[in-house]
Structure 1
Amino acid sequence: MSCGEPHETDCDEVLAEVWLLLDHECDAERDAQLRRHLEECGPCLARYGLEEKVKTLLARTCGGERAPDTLHRKLRERIRETVLEQASISVERTPSGTVVEVNSTRVQTRRQV
């Protein structure tokens, strides 16, 4: 998804990391970059709001129960890998910081009727 406007951080990249932002898993610099983008991009802000509502709904309907930490970490990592894979994004953590590469290949699937 792209709103068509130039941004410091690409829309697809922001949306691929929106759950990391919601879960406070970004470092301070990345958090600030993503939030700057959301402040200037209405479509991404709307999508962020939807994801935030889904997270709140899930938390409320699960009654506050929490998975064991090991399962929680495994699920979180697998979800992150899947999101990055589907968005053709690679993330590399280096001593000098995090490197994010976005390949904007569009994949279209047909819906079964």
Structure 2
Amino acid sequence: MSCGEPHETDCSEVLAEVWLLLDHECDEDRDAQLRRHLDECGPCLARYGLEEKVKTLLSRSCGSEHAPEGLHQRLREQIRATVLEQAEVTVERSAAGTVVEVNQTRVESWRS
């Protein structure tokens, strides 16, 4: 997804990491970079808001019951993997840091 405007961080990259942002799992630099994008991109901010509401609704629906930590971690990892796979994003972590790669397919239409 792209709103068509130039940004430091591509829209699809931000949307692929929106759950990491919601769960406060980004380092400070990445958090700031994603939030800058959301401040300047209305479509991504709307999508972020939707995801935030889903998270809040899920939290309320579960009441005061808490899943075991192991289950919670496995679900978080599966959700992250699914989102990244659907967005064609790869994440590689190493001692040097985290590398995020977004593979985009650009479709253009030509009119004569």
Q: Does TM, scored on the shorter chain, surpass 0.5?
A: yes
Match of 2:21 in 1: 21
Counterpart mapping for 1:23-102 below 5 A: 23-102=23-102
Secondary structure of 2:90 counterpart:
strand
Write the deviation string for residues 19-75 of structure 1: whole angstroms up to 9, x where unpaired: 110011111111111001000101000110111111111111110321100111111
Structure 1 window deviating more from structure 2 (91-100 vs 17-26): it is: 91-100
Secondary structure of 1:6 counterpart:
coil
Secondary structure of 2:9 counterpart:
coil
Secondary structure of 2:101 counterpart:
strand
Amino acid at match of 1:29: D
Secondary structure of 1:93 counterpart:
strand
Instruction: Say how many residue pairs are matched.
Output: 106
Structure 1 window deviating more from structure 2 (50-59 vs 88-97): it is: 88-97
| Distance (Å, rounded) in 1 between the aligned partners of 2:28 and 2:78 | 23
Runs of 4+ in 1 over 3 A off after TM superposition: none
Write the deviation string for residues 81-106 of structure 1: whole angstroms up to 9, x where unpaired: 11111111001112222111000137
User: Unaligned 5+ residue runs, structure 1?
Assistant: 107-113
Q: Is the 8 A contact 1:39 1:45 kept in 2?
A: yes
Identity score, percent: 80
| Distance (Å, rounded) in 1 between the aligned partners of 2:105 and 2:74 | 28
Secondary structure of 1:34 counterpart:
helix
User: Unaligned 5+ residue runs, structure 2?
Assistant: 107-112
| Distance (Å, rounded) in 2 between the aligned partners of 1:9 and 1:72 | 29
Amino acid at match of 2:44: C
